[in-house]
Chains A and B, each alone.
Chain A
Amino acid sequence: AQSVTQLDSHVSVSEGTPVLLRCNYSSSYSPSLFWYVQHPNKGLQLLLKYTSAATLVKGINGFEAEFKKSETSFHLTKPSAHMSDAAEYFCVVSGDSNSGYALNFGKGTSLLVTP
């Protein structure tokens, strides 16, 4: 089975400082991994995805993530936080046919950005 664990339920940063949201995955094969963002009372927006190409993946709004197989990690980073980055972030791994190709979501990390 495939699963992800988001290591922090809440992260607080000051505007202009770096963001690090941590995610570890478990998979019996080379996974497809995603990061989604959800602003309050809004839908889910794809930030970036990893599909076994380059291990450093660049996404929208200055976010990027690095796939590290040896550490089974897929942490999300951004060099400088903006107030508009405050949201819920989900690390996601895709399941295989046994699970109906379900997307397995982490429990989410709430990012707070302070002035």
Chain B
Amino acid sequence: NAGVTQTPKFQVLKTGQSMTLQCAQDMNHEYMSWYRQDPGMGLRLIHYSVGAGITDQGEVPNGYNVSRSTTEDFPLRLLSAAPSQTSVYFCASSGGTGFSGNTIYFGEGSWLTVV
């Protein structure tokens, strides 16, 4: 049981480049989400999905795209990287929402630097 797997762990991008952060979970969870962590700001929600084919925006969605074609995978795409997107990105999944008391499982994070 691998839990939530994120790749890559580290990435350096040039401004304007695009890339995809991968997230996969093997727990058959319906709810998946992406957060970014910036110093002194905690984690902020980028996008989330409540099931395959269903996605929606979180607090800071600009510059990012997501799709959910399968239950297992929830990739995050940076369309045209900007230095402001330098951050640590965390993928999370759960059987239901934290609002309902479900445990949220996080991946180990992806450190992204945009130069």
Mark A residues whose CB is within 8 Å of B: 32, 34, 36, 42-46, 49, 51-52, 90, 92, 94-97, 99-103, 105-108
Contacts and interface: CB of A to CB of B under 8 A. Distances in A.
B99 A96 contact: yes
A95 B43 CA distance: 13
B84 to A, nearest CB: 19
Given A43-B109, A107-B40, A102 B45 contact: yes
B42 A90 contact: yes
Contacts of B57: 100
B103 A102 contact: no
Interface residues of B, number: 28
Contacts, number: 66
B108 A94 contact: no
19 contacts: A32-B101, A42-B108, A43-B106, A46-B104, A49-B101, A49-B103, A94-B99, A99-B45, A100-B33, A100-B48, A100-B56, A101-B48, A101-B97, A101-B98, A102-B48, A102-B59, A103-B45, A105-B42, A108-B42
Interface in B55-79: 56-59
B98 A34 contact: yes
A61 to B, nearest CB: 16
A36 B98 CA distance: 13
Contacts of A44: 90, 106
B41 interface: yes
B54 to A, nearest CB: 11
B46 to A, nearest CB: 10
